Structure 1
Amino acid sequence: MTDLHPVQRTFCSTREAAALLGVSVGTVQQWVENGLLEAWKTAGGHRRVMRDSVDRLLRRRGTVDQPPAPEAAPQRPTVMAVDDDINLLRLYEARISRWPMSPQVICVNNAVLALLRIGRSSPDLLLLDLNMPGMDGFNMLHTLRHAPEIRGTTVAVVTGLDAGAIEARGGLPGDIEVFSKPINFEGLLALWNSMVGQGRFSDTTRYSNF
């Protein structure tokens, strides 16, 4: 007798996981290696991603079983601020939106959601706190280390940790600028102006100067 009730698969391929999450296959592979997604390999060496681990990430974003619509190319440069302090995120948005070229400010209050957003559309500048519940900034940076989506992004850390505390937790890559809290907005603006001066936003087909 034919079973009219299809069996729901408990796993999916990396390509299927990428389509569900709205990110590249390379990003899915990176997330598997860093433990964000659970997976195993077949005898032939193909990765199979556990569907419930994909669903957990989707639930964090509130889009289970509904692949996200592709994001349109931004009309302005983008700055993503990642911090669990909501009031600080509001301050970021108020101050940064007035910078040259009126950047679009994307505020995210946890690292997992930030990784999902970056997988879909990477920002020009990423401002990252180190002390956050769940996945902290150190783990997020480790996950992003070899992610292809982040290659064109300038990353800066904004933290209340001093140099000794940062070093005790493994340190940071040498190419990342570190800003202390309370936030030095003048220093962040200088970093942004240097990016503008380097012609980072000279592609007028992508960016408009407001």
Structure 2
Amino acid sequence: MNKLKTTNKPDDSEVYCTTREAADMLHVSLRTVQLWVEAGVLRAWKTDGGHRRLPLSSVKELIQERMGKGNIAPAPVVESARENFSVLVLEDDEDMLKLYRLTMAAWQMPIQLTFVSSVFEALVVIGRCPPDLLITDLRISGVDGFEIIKLLRNDPVLRSLNIVAVTGMGAEEIEERGGLSSEITVFTKPVSFDQLQGYVKACLAHRLLVDRQKNET
């Protein structure tokens, strides 16, 4: 994947558009386009004033190759929608994703569950409405879990997002890949759903405490 092109001199043979125009063409939010650019899904360059400009060819390629001709961005699979604590699960192994769906849907907790199988889909969801918790594998085709975590931690709006990394990697291998910051919770595969459920319950308890404190003030 090509990363963000930051040259101040665009190709004169190209037609460029703004991020807002790209968002309108792709039928996604402006935030989604910005995330796609940072992840390298869309090519872009920056003007002297710091504004992004996207080659129209890059936008058209995304429409044709990643969404299918005439189709809108893929809709995520939402299993439940109770109250407003949202959990996004990113897993590219189909069998594992099915296990997540079956197990987590049975928890009967006040959470909204969204399941996606690619970083592309995850960035659509995050761009439209950031979740309260992201559960992601570290080995994912294309832009892997390490890169999406780095992307989110470098974003001023999304850096406080709760993240759980699920992986079969050992601590040494994780360090060789650059490591993970201390606030990232790591669960080893095969994942313990009892532990994962306990983590989500702790997040819910923290949310309740914060809401209570807000009401008291």
Following superposition, the deviation at residue 21 of structure 1 comes to 5.0
Following superposition, the deviation at residue 66 of structure 1 comes to 5.4
Amino acid of the structure 2 residue aligned with 1:17? A
1:117 corresponds to which residue?
A: 125
Q: Could you tell me how far apart the structure 1 residues matched to 2:67 and 2:73 are?
A: 11
1:165 aligns with 2:173: yes
Amino acid of the structure 2 residue aligned with 1:40? W
Gaps of 5+ in 2: 1-13, 76-80, 212-217
TM-score w.r.t. the length of structure 2 is: 0.74
1:180 aligns with 2:205: no
1:13 aligns with 2:13: no
Question: Which of 88, 95, 116 lines up with 1:108 in the alignment?
Answer: 116
Following superposition, the deviation at residue 155 of structure 1 comes to 0.8
Q: Could you tell me how far apart the structure 1 residues matched to 2:71 and 2:56 are?
A: 11
Distance change >3 Å, CA 193–CA 13, structure 1 → 2: same
1:94 aligns with 2:102: yes
Report if the CA contact (8 A) 2:15-2:56 is conserved: yes
Q: Which moved more, 1:29-38 or 1:128-137?
A: 29-38
1:138 corresponds to which residue?
A: 146
Q: Could you tell me how far apart the structure 2 residues matched to 1:105 and 1:201 are?
A: 22
Q: Could you tell me how far apart the structure 2 residues matched to 1:68 and 1:186 are?
A: 31
Q: Could you tell me how far apart the structure 2 residues matched to 1:193 and 1:35 are?
A: 35
Q: Which has the higher contact order (CA 8 A, sep 6+)?
A: 1
Amino acid of the structure 2 residue aligned with 1:60? R
Q: Secondary structure at the match of 1:114?
A: helix
2:8 corresponds to which residue?
A: none
Give a deviation string over 1:126-169, Cα, whole Å, max 9, x none: 11001111111111112222335535631100111111111100
Give a deviation string over 1:13-38, Cα, whole Å, max 9, x none: 0222234352335x544543443321
Aligned residues: 190
Gaps of 5+ in 1: 1-8, 204-210
1:195 aligns with 2:200: no
Q: Could you tell me how far apart the structure 2 residues matched to 1:151 and 1:188 are?
A: 21
Q: Secondary structure at the match of 1:140?
A: helix
Indicate the structure with greater helix content: 2
Q: Which moved more, 1:160-169 or 1:117-126?
A: 117-126
Percent of aligned pairs with the same amino acid: 41
Q: Could you tell me how far apart the structure 1 residues matched to 2:142 and 2:153 are?
A: 19
1:6 corresponds to which residue?
A: none
Report if the CA contact (8 A) 1:14-1:47 is conserved: yes
Following superposition, the deviation at residue 47 of structure 1 comes to 2.2
Q: Could you tell me how far apart the structure 2 residues matched to 1:201 and 1:100 are?
A: 20
Give the superposed CA RMSD. Answer: 3.0
Report if the CA contact (8 A) 1:111-1:135 is conserved: yes
